[in-house]
Structure 1
Amino acid sequence: MTELAENDAANDTPPDALPLGPQSLVWRYFGDNRMYLIGPRPAVLQNMLAELGQGVLDHSVFFDDTAARVKRSLPPIFMTVYGADDANEGFNVRDFHHDIKGEMPDGRRYHALDPETYFWAHATFLEQVLYFADTFVKKLSQAEKEQIYAESKTWYRRYGVSDRPMPADYAEFERYWKRMLDETVVAHKTAQYGVGYVTKGFPCPKGVHPAVWRVVSVAFDPLAAFLTTGGLPPQARRLLGLPWSDRQERRYQRFAALWRSRPVNWLWDRLPMSVRYNKYAQQGYSRADAGA
């Protein structure tokens, strides 16, 4: 695809999609700093697709320096969403994946740019928006879920990858998501490693003195385990063997309801933008305000 064609594709919003921007629900929720409350849900689910998990295992620094991988991967994805139509990181994100390919243990070949694999990675980010908003902000209406999905189609097309596997509408996406969780995802080694701290405790981060971490981890480890396990679908918990009781589920639902409550939302909405949103979202809103 030529640069001109890429720019044309980025600027056009097909009739089956909705645009991104300050009016969009994807913008409202994706860069919200309360997103930390869902734990590593999208990353864990991504790595439960065998081909994607294998790609991370073979090519990523995930096992040696998890934080470095997160810091490298997330900014361009945020800028795919919050960048301008003709100045976003989507094509660069795609190009990062050209050489991520190899062989599965059973001899099958994999490639990160296989449309089904690439769309699954995107689907976990889209579902992250839906799950986060519906769980920790407000119960979404059906119309709001459909709007988020229509906006996500514009988001996905910014990568310049085939949209052949992309469901036509939100109802079809729901069926796709259920089928993937029920029939396709597995307890890949990469996903298991990513949630190992739930039962073993979080390793001491680089740059933190072990003595300090021993004190901090007393509070951090239980909270991280609670948010990580509670934030995963039941199918993923079962496959990964993560302990979770009915009592813990009730606690998680009470915790989520507290965040959704009117007083908490009222207070959050009155905090400075720099507290409520990450810097990529702030940049997007500032650019939109300047151009208004």
Structure 2
Amino acid sequence: MSNEPRAPQRRPVPQVDFLNPSGAPALYPPDSLAWQVFKNPISLFIGGITAVLLELAEERVRTGVWEHSIFPTDPLIRMQRTGLMTHVSVYAPVAVAEKLIRGVVAMHARVEGTTPKGTPYRANDPELLNWVQCTVSYGFMEAYAAYCRPLSDAQRDHFYRESMASARLFLAHGAPQSKAEQQQQFERMQPHLEAHPIILQFLEIVLRTSALPLFLKPLQSTMVRAGIHLLPAWLIERLGLQGRQWRLKPWEQRLLRTLGALFERVPIPNAAPTLASRRMGLPANYLYKRFTATTGDGSMASAQS
């Protein structure tokens, strides 16, 4: 393995047609919990912050991300690509999702090296793939539950089981399939999570990068701190993020919950969730009706308000 990282290549954000072909199914069905969780821009941004912090706390993942991606030099493009892949995994036609995910897996196959501490790493290491999938599911789901719509433990278990539809394509075959398995994975990884200057650098980059729509931009700092707030308390302390500048105030939590609830009711025109609903022959506002009933398997049943 070479100690010299390869120079990251700047690739344009792919263009994906979420509206066509008509009737083409996605990896997840429209009545899935995933279609609900990933439609809300509040939980997407906050949950993304949580997930990346968990990933950067792990030495091998941190080195791979920082040395083999464009995030340090072109964070906006990287965030746009990551956001697109999230929507592709959930809403795009299966053929499109499988093709783009195969591309990510092939790219990861070329990512390897040695950390500054001398630890070898490979991006396609099963342990790291499972950890990244765990952090993604945890971050987005807990952000949704905290700021958009409460979720029961049964729904959390269902969400983790659902996530295997895309996790297997990313080769994360050992990703958690329940809240209990997620907690066990956190416990196993706890000794490997540590503070590092790159984590603060990441937060500084996100705070100064205009990654949100204009009407949400004034809340970017608040949403970053909300992402920190979702981390386990022991990890917040270990990462040195317990200071006042990183704390989320109660009124800020209330404000984010109000906005999260608003985006549960207001469709975003021409966004992936609305386009995918139309592709499946459903109303554009299909995902923005109240989903109040819980089925026996933990999924959400629609109840028109």
1:191 CA displacement: 2.1
1:234 aligns with 2:233: yes
Partner of 1:25: 33
Judge conservation of contact 2:123–2:129 (CA < 8 Å) in 1: yes
Gaps of 5+ in 1: 1-18, 207-216
- Tell me how large the CA RMSD over aligned residues is: 3.2
Shift in alpha-carbon separation, 1:231–1:203, aligned structure 2, 3 A: same
Partner of 1:287: 279
1: distance between equivalents of 2:145 and 2:90?
Answer: 20
Alignment of 1:91-240 (within 5 A): 91-159=102-170, 161=171, 163=173, 165-180=174-189, 182-196=190-204, 202-203=207-208, 223=222, 226-240=225-239
Secondary structure of the residue that 1:223 maps to in structure 2? Answer: helix
* TM-score normalised by the chain length of structure 1: 0.72
Shift in alpha-carbon separation, 1:188–1:141, aligned structure 2, 3 A: same
Secondary structure of the residue that 1:40 maps to in structure 2? Answer: helix
Judge conservation of contact 1:59–1:100 (CA < 8 Å) in 2: yes
1:113 CA displacement: 0.5
Judge conservation of contact 2:75–2:205 (CA < 8 Å) in 1: no
Shift in alpha-carbon separation, 1:271–1:47, aligned structure 2, 3 A: same
1:34 aligns with 2:45: no
- The residue identity in structure 1 corresponding to 2:155 is E
Partner of 2:19: none
Q: Structure 1, residues 211-249: CA drift from partner, whole Å, max 9, x if none? A: xxxxxx9x667536643443433233222212445x955
Q: Structure 1, residues 93-150: CA drift from partner, whole Å, max 9, x if none? A: 2122121111122333211011111121121110122211210122211211111011
2: distance between equivalents of 1:125 and 1:221?
Answer: 20
Paired residues, number: 248
Partner of 1:90: 101
Secondary structure of the residue that 1:69 maps to in structure 2? Answer: helix
Secondary structure of the residue that 1:46 maps to in structure 2? Answer: helix
In structure 2, which of residues 71, 79, 84 is the aligned counterpart of residue 62 of structure 1?
Answer: 71
1: distance between equivalents of 2:70 and 2:264?
Answer: 37
1:183 CA displacement: 2.3
Q: Among the aligned pairs, what percent are the same residue? A: 23
Secondary structure of the residue that 2:150 maps to in structure 1? Answer: coil
1: distance between equivalents of 2:90 and 2:177?
Answer: 20
1:23 CA displacement: 0.7
Shift in alpha-carbon separation, 1:32–1:108, aligned structure 2, 3 A: same
Secondary structure of the residue that 2:121 maps to in structure 1? Answer: strand
Gaps of 5+ in 2: 1-26, 212-216, 283-305
Shift in alpha-carbon separation, 1:225–1:136, aligned structure 2, 3 A: closer
Secondary structure of the residue that 1:110 maps to in structure 2? Answer: strand
- The residue identity in structure 2 corresponding to 1:76 is M
2: distance between equivalents of 1:205 and 1:259?
Answer: 18
- The residue identity in structure 1 corresponding to 2:203 is V
2: distance between equivalents of 1:137 and 1:258?
Answer: 11
- The residue identity in structure 1 corresponding to 2:96 is A
Judge conservation of contact 1:41–1:232 (CA < 8 Å) in 2: yes
